[in-house]
Amino acid sequence: MSYPYFELNELITHLLSFGIAFALVTFLHVVRELAPKTVAIGDSKNQ
């Protein structure tokens, strides 16, 4: 006996979790790359 509702719910859960994980990894990658540049530019303006 198969319940299509549970299969759809599982698909939505997987897609949502993939989207959240992808967004988190992308955000952390951008922050990790831009933070040192921002600090370096800020330090050069203060001198």
Alpha helices in the chain (DSSP H): 4-46
Residue 46's pLDDT is 65
Residue 20 has a pLDDT of 97
What is the per-residue pLDDT for 15? Answer: 93
Q: What is the pLDDT of residue 45?
A: 67
**Closest to 34 (Cα-Cα) out of 22, 23, 26, 45:** 26
Q: What are phi and psi of 35, to 5 degrees?
A: -60, -50
What distance in Å separates the CA atoms of residue 37 and residue 44, rounded to the nearest whole number? 11
> What pLDDT, on the 0 to 100 scale, is given for residue 5?
61
**Apex 28 CA angle, 22 and 31, nearest 5:** 140
Number of C-beta neighbours around residue 38 at 10 A: 10
pLDDT by 10s per residue, the chain, length 47: 556 666 778 889 999 999 999 999 999 999 888 888 888 887 776 66
